[in-house]
Structure 1
Amino acid sequence: MGCGNSKIDKEEIVRRCKTRTRLMKQLVKSRQAFSASHNTYIISHRSAGTALLQFVTAFAGKDDYNVPPTPTVAPSSSRLETGDDWKTKSEVVTTGNFIKTMITEFSNNPEITSEIAVVMPAKSNDLVEIMREINELFATAADACSEVSSLLGVSSFSRSTSHSFEGSKVYGHLNQSLCSMGLLKKTDSLEQFEESIEGEEASSWSGSHSSTLSKLYAWEKKLYLEVKTAETLNLEYQKRIVQMRKFESRKTEGVKTEKTKKELEKLESRIMVTSQTIETISSEIFKLTQSDLYMHLVELVKGLMGMWRTMHECYTKQMHIAKQLERLINVVHSSSPSESHWRSTYQLEQKLQQWQLALYNLDKAQGDYVESLVGWLQLCNSPITWRIYTICEEWSLLIKRVPMNLALDGIKNLLGSIRSLMVQQEEEQKLERRLELIKKEVEKKELELKLLEENKYKYKQYSTSEDGNKEPEVALKQTKVESLRGKAEEERAEYVKMVTATKMRTFTILRTELAPLFQAMSDFARECTLSFEFVQDKAKTVGGGGEGHDVKMLVP
């Protein structure tokens, strides 16, 4: 029996079905990872904006920051940046108390244009308020991901509790469908199997991409079992045919011949039933692929295109707002930094790192998802799967073509500056602790000197030193105190110098390194938008085919 199963497993059609089942299982898990990484990216994106605002709020608590009066700009003044495939035209208009910058972006394709309005107070002198605008745009960009979250199957529970469980990487609701899949067993009839599918659907998100993949996986497993059964029956049928011919050639007794004929008739009947079952399963896979899967993928591409377009607009606005920081004038005070500033710096470093990692994981999860989908589609011989395959192939090329390192390096550069600032703050804290120790030592020695001077008349013997009429012991103690005071003053001067340098370093980071970050993220989001627009156009060009074709083509 074992040898027979081993031989059947080596059959091309069985191996093909087994591979299809494995790829569909992998696709289900890839969708789960894609959904989880997408949700994690939303969380990290919001957190990065919040951490940046807290960092600036803690930093700007005691210093003055002023924006010089905005020069009058004629409404007709404009700037045109030209690239190979993209042009940007910005027009700055001063109206009343506000500056309105209209940024029109257009590619060589006249149908792909976007207009972004950036409005800022013309006389804003509040660094925190400027950063609050940037933080709101972080939130707006994160909100733009909600449609894709719904398409990927991120439940409302996960989104509502995401702020409380930012570190969570596994979501229970994402495992429900996988658990139900593990309960799938070989049924006695196709009707019972369909009932089990309907029961599974009821506990999942009805009509969602998640439930569609779950059903496809269940059908693929059933198809694999039926194809394997069919091959087993065919093998047995061929053996009986050979046996029958031997009986006929040898003119053996008619009893054995009749028995073999009856067994052949039973095998033929079972083969026919199995073939009909395989055709029915293939029809179900075809219908799911043609209707649900295709529409889900088209909607997902459309949702991702809209998401990155909104993100591009938000990043572009943030970039232009951040450029206003370059005009800030800082009057740095030597006041001691607050503990909240140190904590907020550490928090910002953590959130930037999480944002960078989440973006990388999102890109990888998306690539794994598309790769699994393409692998499964390649083994399905149907015009409708070819239509989806064409879309997914372009999607796969998109992932490889989009300059992910552009965004990752943008975050990395700011992250590196924040880490260098943390090193500087650590030195600052060391100097502060050392200064505190010296101050305590000075206070201790001053108290000892005071007690010694108060009790000098109790001594019976006196001696006069060359520099005065004080006792040598008192003079020596006073010399030590003065030395410590001088050392404390030197330490304080060094500490003040370090505090000023740290504040200036922080101020420089805010003035010069936020705009490049948002520029990099804007360019990356723009490339994603254009790429998904191309994929969507590709979907439209191949969207008309696939109807009315023979569903048997789905059978391996």
Structure 2
Amino acid sequence: MPEIFVHKPDPKRSDPIIEEEDEDEIEIEIESHSLKHRRSRSVKTGGEGLVPPPSPPRTPPLADRAPPPPPLPESKGMTWDFFYSPMENEPAPSLEEEDEGRWEREREEMAKRAEVEAAEAAEKVEELPPQPPPPAAATKAVKKVKQVAPAEGKSVSNVSLLQIFNELDDCFLKASESAHEVSKMLEANRLHYHSNFADNRGHIDHSARLMRVITWNRSFKGLSNADDGTEDFDSEEHETHATVLDKMLAWEKKLYDEVKAGEQMKFEYQRKVNSLNKLNKRGANTESIEKTKAALSHLHTRYIVDMQALDSTVSEINRLRDELLYPKLVSLVDGMATMWENMQIHHEKQSKIATALKFLDISQSPKETSENHHVRTLQLMGVAREWKNQFGKLMTHQKEYINALNGWLKLNLVPIDNNIKEKVSSPQRPQNPPIQALLHAWNNNLTKLPDELARTAMFNFSAVMDTIVQYQVEEMKLRNRCEDTRKELARRTRQFEDWYNKYMQRKTPPDEMDPERAHEMDLIAAKRLAVEAVKNKLEDEEDAYRRQCVQVREKSLTTLKTRLPEVFRAMSDSSIACSEMYSNLRSISHPP
């Protein structure tokens, strides 16, 4: 590499030596930094085939500088001297005469070193065994703690209203599921069409309609009725509780028409008998007497035929009663018994959950009533009212239904007088059918069922919820009033500041002896007093609002702590009574 000589005046020999030493130290630091930088780049890019440039060969020291000590090996002629020249006016050195063999050797050594380091790093990575990630283990540990903590015992101080309500809601959902079987039996989720209003044709001739049942040709079971395919009178195994009652109602209406026609025929027969007796007393001619006797014989024959048809109707009603209605009632008793057993379990659990409300701290409740909170309170009040109404309907309707069935059975067991003049054979009705004991016990137990306590508890809870809603409405009115007053205060303050600034700009420098100065001060004080009045009004309203918030919180919490456990205790007692009642009815419907 050519040597570069710079001719400069050098009055003192010691100064260049010191300067060269300083420059040598700087160049050594730069060169060492560059070597580290190149080595790190060679390791990072060794897999890509990129080889960094090696350090250039050393340059011999200057020939005309024998007296000074020899420079360090890295002082001159390095690669970084080409990029970072200490003299701006120096021309860039030429690399044409560089030792190519040495350059190639150093490049190969650097490449081999980079490959060895990359291989060692890869071996270290392969030797590391796979380890599970620690966050997953931490998560599992947390889950285990959560599962074990309830078993060891819960702190009553950590109970929250949301947690209690969620548990109560879960019990309600499970209790509702226990009633699905009974709802399915009674087809509670279907729209029922009463036979009196079928086909929307006003009056229905039940006798004509039931003739399709009585005169049904069994040989045409396989044929489909294109005109009325929805009615299948043969599939009694698929009859529901409602269809059995509807079918019995139709037969009862047919029986009513037949009994009415039989009574009219009996009245006509008695009238003809009286007419024949009068003819005999007057000694009428034989033709009139024979004609009257023939009419009497015809009426008697018609009456006997009608009574036989009536007896067939009665027999069919009794068959439906014993073979269809009674099994449906037995199934209903079993379903109600199971339902109330499950209801008892869930209501008892709710009663225990509600007792945790006494540990609820008022500090956990919200400070103020928000719109969302008010809407949820309205929903709770509506649900409480609907719960009370539906429970009342359940108790009232089952009493009315069983009472109606019991009254119908009493009339059904009364024999029909089908005598016109002489005894006409009639099928003997059993005096004690199985349905009689069941309906009699069912009706008596329902009249004694203690459900008023549960109704009263529900009514009290819904009434108190209505009171809480009214308190919340008052609180929200006070909050809106505070907002309006706060806006008015901001407007008054802004107006006063604007007026004061404009007034002070128009005002001349004050003169203490000016008589109008007192008037101006009074005007400013009056306007400031008006602003202070609004401010005091806002403070009073905010104080009233805070008191109302505290009252609503205390009233709500007190209500939940007292009324809610009371409701669930009453429901638990009522469900126990219903469960015991239907268990007794089950023993009657399934005698040993």
| TM-score interval, smaller chain | 0.5 to 0.7
* 1:469-548 to 2 correspondences below 5 Å: 471-541=521-591
Most deviating of 463-472 and 179-188:
463-472
User: Equivalents in 2 of 1:186, 1:520: separation in Å?
Assistant: 47
Cα-to-partner distance string for 1:156-202 (whole Å, 9 max, x where unaligned): xx4xxxxxxxxxxxxxx223433139653265798556369997853
Q: What secondary structure sits across from 1:396 in the alignment?
A: helix
Per the alignment, residue 452 of structure 2 pairs with: 405
Instruction: Pick the aligned partner of 2:150 from 61, 83, 98.
Output: 98
Which protein has the larger Cα radius of gyration, Structure 1 or Structure 2?
2
2:195 corresponds to 1:177: yes
Give the AA of the match of 2:472. Answer: Q
- Residue number in structure 2 paired with 1:128: 162
Q: Paired residue for 2:408?
A: 376
State the aligned residue count.
415
Matched, 1:431 2:486: no
Please, which runs of 5 or more residues in structure 1 have no aligned partner? 1-93, 102-119, 159-172, 545-556
Distance in 1, matches of 2:261 and 2:558, equals: 72
Counterpart in 1 of 2:265?
233
- Tell me the alpha carbon deviations over residues 436-462 of structure 1, each in whole angstroms, 9 at most, x when there is no partner: 222122112211221123121312484
Helix, strand or coil at the partner of 2:204: coil
Runs of 5+ consecutive residues of structure 2 not aligned to the other structure: 1-145, 218-224, 414-428
Task: Provide the C-alpha distance between the structure 2 equivalents of 1:143 and 1:133, rounded to a whole number of angstroms.
Answer: 16
After superposition, residues 274-313 of structure 1 pair within 5 angstroms as: 274-313=306-345
Counterpart-to-counterpart distance in 2, 1:367 and 1:483:
66
The equivalent of 2:369 in structure 1 is 337
Work out whether residues 99 and 121 of structure 1, in 8 Å CA contact, stay in contact via their aligned partners in 2.
Answer: no
Two-structure CA RMSD over aligned residues (Å) = 3.6
The question of whether the paired residues in 2 share the 8 Å contact of 1:463 and 1:471 is answered with: no
Matched residue SS, 1:361: helix
- Structure 2 CA distance for partners of 1:432 and 1:524, relative to 1, 3 Å: same
- 8 Å CA contact 2:442–2:585 kept in 1: the answer is yes
Conserved 8 A contact 1:431-1:495 = yes
Q: Following the alignment from structure 2 to structure 1, what is the Cα–Cα distance between the partners of residues 267 and 559?
A: 74
Q: For 2:192, what is the secondary structure of its paired residue?
A: helix
| Within-5 A mapping of 1:77-476 | 96-98=148-150, 125-155=159-189, 158=190, 173-180=191-198, 183-185=203-205, 191-192=211-212, 194=214, 201-202=231-232, 206-244=238-276, 253-332=285-364, 335-381=367-413, 382-383=429-430, 386-455=433-502, 456-460=504-508, 462=510, 471-476=521-526
2: CA distance, partners of 1:124 / 1:251 = 109
| Counterpart secondary structure, 1:136 | helix
Structure 1 residues 446 and 252, CA, compared in 2 at 3 Å: closer, same or farther? closer
Shift of 1:532: 1.6
Q: Is the 8 A contact 2:378 2:469 kept in 1?
A: yes
Percentage identity across paired residues of the two chains: 27
Distance change >3 Å, CA 121–CA 461, structure 1 → 2: closer
Structure 2 SS opposite 1:96: helix
Residues 392 and 442 (structure 1), Cα distance of their counterparts in 2 relative to 1, 3 Å cut: same
Whole-Å separation in 2 of the counterparts to 1:506 and 1:225: 62
Deviation at 1:298, TM superposition (A): 1.4
CA gap 1:187/1:355 in 2 versus in 1, 3 angstroms: closer
Q: Write out per-residue CA displacement over residues 470-498 of structure 1, whole angstroms, 9 at most, x where no aligned residue.
A: 83322332233234323322322331232
Contact 1:367 1:399 in 2 (8 A): yes
Q: Report the Cα distance in structure 2 between the residues aligned to 1:189 and 1:435, rounded to whole angstroms.
A: 72
Say if 1:377 and 1:386, in contact at 8 Å, map to a contact too. Answer: no
Structure 1 position 253, deviation (Å): 4.3
Q: In proportion to residue count, which structure has more strand? A: 1
Query: Once the two structures are superposed, what CA deviation does each residue of 1:418-439 show, in whole Å capped at 9, x if it has no partner?
Result: 1221222122122212212221
Whether contact under 8 Å (1:219, 1:285) holds in the other structure is yes
CA distance in 2, matches of 1:254, 1:471: 137
Name 1:88's counterpart in structure 2. Answer: none
User: Kindly tell me: are residues 311 and 363 of structure 1, through their superposed partners in 2, closer, same or farther at Cα, counting changes over 3 Å?
Assistant: same
Corresponding residue SS for 1:141: helix
For residue 193 of structure 2, give the secondary structure of its aligned residue in structure 1: helix
Quick one: structure 1 residues 436 and 151, their matched pair in 2 at CA, closer, same or farther if it must change by over 3 Å?
Answer: same
The answer (yes or no) to whether the contact 2:206–2:250 under 8 Å persists in 1 is no
Change in Cα spacing, 1:191 to 1:435, as seen in structure 2 (3 Å) is: closer
Q: 1:241: how far off?
A: 4.1
CA distance in 2, matches of 1:301, 1:273: 41
Task: Please report how far the alpha carbon of residue 519 of structure 1 lies from its aligned counterpart in structure 2 after TM superposition.
Answer: 0.8
Distance 1:402 1:235 in 2: 48
- Counterpart AA for 1:433: N
Cα pair 1:334 1:500 within 8 Å, conserved: no
How far apart, CA to CA, are the structure 2 residues paired with 1:409 and 1:189?
Answer: 47
Q: TM-score, normalised by structure 1?
A: 0.66
Alpha-carbon separation, structure 1, partners of 2:208 and 2:499: 103
CA gap of 1:180–1:385, structure 2 versus 1, over 3 A, is farther
2:535 and 2:268 map into 1 onto residues whose CA distance is 102
Structure 1 position 140, deviation (Å) = 1.5
Using a 3 Å threshold, how does the CA distance of structure 1 residues 276 and 395 change in structure 2: closer, same or farther? same
1:85 is aligned to none
Distance 2:366 2:280 in 1: 110
Q: The residue matched to 2:590 in structure 1 has which SS?
A: helix
**Residue identity opposite 1:458 in structure 2:** R
